[in-house]
Structure 1
Amino acid sequence: MTVNHHSGEFHGLPVFDFRVAVDTHGVDGEAAAPTDPRELPAAGAVAWRVSVEYDSGTTFEDVWKAFLDTVDTAGVRAVVLGGWWERDYGPIAGTLAALVREAARLPALEALFLADVTSEECEISWLEMSDVTPVLTAFPRLTELVVRGGNGLALAPVRHDRLTALRFESGGLPGTVVRAVAASELPALERLVLWLGVDEYGGDSTDDDLAPFLDGSRFPALRHLGLANSEYQDEIAAAVAHAPVVARLETLDLSMGMLTDEGATALLEGQPLTHLRALDLHHHYLSEPMQERLREALPGVALDLSEAEEEDDPEDRYVAVAE
């Protein structure tokens, strides 16, 4: 998974771009309210992408208001928040506040993606994020939350009874956020993915921060765990090799990081992984003999060993998503 393309599907629904056309003449010389001139799909049939193109002259507030006034928001199940900027890459805090203020108009919202912004539009490390805790408290029916970007990102430990999927995509996920997730009460959580990133971009989590996810003491419903995009992927693999939580996982994601033969050896010498349906290790630094050992040891597991990188010097290795 990369940040080079907008999501075409989210929450099992096709993504539909809500667009606005502004009549600059309007009535009595005043600009008319922006609207989407097309025939729109049923509110619950798509994931609605609400976005502002950089330097378009249209504000997010205008587009968001048009969305609320045009679409039957009572039936909206999924929202994908794209670019929110007008003429600079400012913080998302005001946009999230606008979203939370209108929570009552989105009573059926099940899934939210913050923010579906590609690297061509804005590097992931440039995204000015904010505290996303109010989103979880404002939408108690939410079952899926995806957050992209780590700069300025914050989260407080929360309880949410319906959230089943949580994903943080970042080139540098703050350790405070990792610890807040670990301290949260999420009894329905089935899928957890953390792109941990690198220290240079704020990814300052440690092995100790990951311990609550691995010892099985948190999230009793967890079936998929992703601890990915890390510069200490070997250490994570060694910890996973003996982690109690693995026995109840169906799928495991240790991809996008700097995994070498050392980490893969630890996996093979640890507890059995043959019960897994899938093991994702794509973007790695594994030798050909080690890749073959993994294939032979896990014949019934869907094993992703794509994007093999070749770099002998550890100083020149890199994670899939950083800047």
Structure 2
Amino acid sequence: MTDSTPRDSDAVLGGQTPPPTTGAILGGLAGARQRLESEAISARLTALKEAFQYGEQGIDLAIQALDDSTEEVQQLACRLLRISDRGRQSLLEHRPLSYFTTLADWRHEIYNPQIGITDPENNAYVVRMTNSGRSGSYDLSQFEALLNEPRLAELQALVFQIDYNYCDEDHTFGVAIEAICDAQERMPNLKALFVGDSEGGHFVERSYRAPEFRKSKIRVFDIRPFLEAFPKLEVFQCYGYFAEYTLECAGLRHESLKSLIIETSDMLYENIEQLCSIELPELEYFELWVGRSYHSSGSPLDRMLPVLSGYAFPKLKYLGLCSL
């Protein structure tokens, strides 16, 4: 192959198919701009990443890509724009909520061992821990298959769903903690993690949607191991029942977390205080479902004074208090 031979990703003048070997290859920014008009999503994704290397003009193309017809290209454009100050400002102007890193930045794909991990950068792979309804009987085979994937180390986002086990409700979440955290060295680049109830959730356009009122029977008793196991984590989202056990977050610090989302319909107010005590110097987005508390006195807002006063989470830009 000579230098003039077009590659699959090159834009070629002439419009002939297949491209002539004598055609002129459009490289650089011009080629990336032309490939952004391609009907192939993969070509547009590649072109967008290439274009972003060209400074201000690349940022302009990423801003235009926010209006792309496909969710995949829009998600990549958002991730790229967050890298630069001008890009982040553009997101605030065009798509304020896209300014923040959440699991919506990845396309959700139910993991299929027959297909494997094909796009660890853009896909959040969804696995499910099921059970037989008996105490101590859990099926982690889907997750175990994922752990044997050759591209596992490249994985950026994981959605770990948990089926409720009425015979073992106090231990179910602990099984998930152990399974995920034991695999920490095999997922060194994990940036986004969802752990929580599978019941009632559904997929809309490859994005996961939890039930409206966030009711759950999955008893969450600890989130500390996840934050300690994955230092590169930027997004942590947990959905379960937070009214049975008191979390122990005192002294916990995470240097990278940007978004924390806690979804529940039942919350001990002591757990609100524990969550607000975590040292998160980079946190920008905090969404907290407060719900009901049958065992706590006072107001949940009293437990949030460190956040409401601006003392905790110094970079916080979004505070969403839900189901108050």
Is the helix fraction higher in 1 or 2? 2
Q: CA RMSD in A?
A: 2.9
Deviation at 1:39, TM superposition (A): 5.5
Deviation at 1:74, TM superposition (A): 0.5
Aligned partner (choices 142, 151, 176) of residue 95 of structure 1: 176
1:133 aligns with 2:224: yes
Amino acid in structure 1 at the alignment position of 2:124: A
Per the alignment, do residues 183 and 120 of structure 1 end up closer, same or farther by CA in structure 2, a change over 3 Å counting?
closer
**For residues 254 and 305 of structure 2, what CA distance do their matches in structure 1 show?**
21
TM-score by length of 2: 0.57
Deviation at 1:92, TM superposition (A): 1.0
Amino acid in structure 1 at the alignment position of 2:231: P
Q: Which runs of 5+ in 1 are unaligned?
A: 1-8, 20-35, 231-323
SS of the equivalent of 2:181 reads helix
Amino acid in structure 1 at the alignment position of 2:155: V
**For residues 13 and 221 of structure 1, what CA distance do their matches in structure 2 show?**
23
Per the alignment, do residues 175 and 70 of structure 1 end up closer, same or farther by CA in structure 2, a change over 3 Å counting?
same
Q: Which runs of 5+ in 2 are unaligned?
A: 1-101, 203-210
SS of the equivalent of 2:236 reads strand
Per the alignment, do residues 45 and 206 of structure 1 end up closer, same or farther by CA in structure 2, a change over 3 Å counting?
closer
Whether the 8 Å CA contact 2:155–2:189 is kept in 1: the answer is: yes
Amino acid in structure 2 at the alignment position of 1:114: V
Whether the 8 Å CA contact 2:197–2:218 is kept in 1: the answer is: no
Larger Rg computed on CA atoms: 2
Per the alignment, do residues 197 and 72 of structure 1 end up closer, same or farther by CA in structure 2, a change over 3 Å counting?
same
SS of the equivalent of 2:306 reads helix
Aligned partner (choices 110, 115, 126) of residue 191 of structure 2: 110
Aligned partner (choices 147, 154, 174) of residue 238 of structure 2: 147
Whether the 8 Å CA contact 1:174–1:205 is kept in 2: the answer is: no
Which residue does 1:14 correspond to in 2? 107
User: Superposition pairs for residues 159-308 of structure 1, below 5 Å?
Assistant: 159-200=253-294, 206-230=300-324
Please give the per-residue CA displacement for 1:117-146, whole angstroms capped at 9, x wherever unaligned. Answer: 233799833112231101101111000001
**For residues 207 and 10 of structure 1, what CA distance do their matches in structure 2 show?**
27
Whether the 8 Å CA contact 1:150–1:170 is kept in 2: the answer is: yes
TM-score by length of 1: 0.57
179-188 vs 44-53, which deviates more? Answer: 44-53
Per the alignment, do residues 204 and 137 of structure 1 end up closer, same or farther by CA in structure 2, a change over 3 Å counting?
farther
Identity among equivalent positions (%) equals 23
